[in-house]
Amino acid sequence: MLKHVDDSYVGLVIGRLSPRIWSLPKGHVEPNEAAEDAATREVLEETGIAATIIEKLADIRYWFYRNKNKHDKTVHFYLMRFLSGEPTPQAGEVDETKWVPLDKLPVVLTHLNERRLVQLAQTFVHERSAAELGFKQ
């Protein structure tokens, strides 16, 4: 999630648990739902922010165990542009939401793969003007 503020950019992160785990908003794809639609829906549900996709960044595949069963999960990550809303954590899912300067995101995020994604996003953003990213000048 990207927001243009005072000629710079901020990204939205969500916090869960204690000690705090900071991550990018994400979720699951419902049956018969496109991955892109799931991404914008999940961001809205988890954070209260309406967004639109600018660019697909990457897919991350990983495995985890739940109830002694191994699960395979693929998460589709998109660079999104802020449209509207105020950051509001989804009750029972997210404890905290906050905007972080884009250049500080890799330091804030807990997971290495998400820090790498942000570095891809930073490169993408720095190579384009605000207008090219869909922000009004």
Task: Give the model confidence (pLDDT) of 22-58 as tens digits.
Answer: 999 988 889 999 999 999 999 999 999 999 999 999 9
Q: Where are the domains of the chain?
A: 2-126
Q: Are strands 50-66 and 21-23 parallel, antiparallel or unpaired?
A: unpaired
Q: How far apart are CA 105 and CA 114, in angstroms?
A: 9
Which segment of 44-53, 69-78, 92-101 scores lowest on mean pLDDT?
Answer: 69-78
> What digits encode the pLDDT tens for the residues 115-126?
999 999 999 999
Both tokens of residue 129?
A: 């003007």
Identify the CA nearest to 105 among candidates 46, 24, 18.
24
3-state class (DSSP) for residue 120: helix
Q: Compute the average pLDDT of residues 57-85.
A: 91
CATH level 2 (architecture), domain 2-126: Alpha-Beta Complex (3.90)
Q: Compute the average pLDDT of residues 76-103.
A: 95
Under 8 Å between Cβ of 20 and 89: no
Identify the CA nearest to 80 among candidates 34, 16, 124.
124
